[in-house]
Amino acid sequence: MTSQNPDPLENNLTGLEPGGGVPPGETPPGEGTSVGPQGPRIPEDRGFTQYLWIILIGVMVLLVALFFVGRIVGILN
């Protein structure tokens, strides 16, 4: 039984040129490592807006709770 090469274009494969260059139209090989940011992450200063949103949400929750308490007690019909 003779086995044929499953990839008939094996002799036409492209790759790196001598010296490590990449021929035109080729995708260069991937990097050996990927480096991200180094050192500690410095948190951003959100200032007053962060607290403003918390206060607004708290006020809305309080108003909804007061509405339902008023409905239960019978103040609001």
Q: In this predicted model, what pLDDT tens digit does every residue of 46-72 receive, in sequence order?
A: 778 888 999 999 999 999 999 999 888
CA distances from 69 to 5, 56, 60, 65, 73 (A): 81, 20, 14, 6, 6
pLDDT tens, residue by residue, 1-26: 566 656 555 555 556 666 667 777 77
Q: Give the pLDDT confidence of 22-36 residue by residue, as tens digits.
A: 777 776 666 555 667
Collect all residues with Cβ–Cβ distance below 8 Å to 70 and sequence separation of at least 6: 76
CA distance 5 to 10: 8
Predicted TM-score (pTM) of this structure: 0.41
Q: Could you tell me which of 2, 24, 59 has the C-alpha nearest to residue 67?
A: 59
The residue ranking higher by pLDDT, 74 or 2, is: 74
pLDDT of residue 6: 61
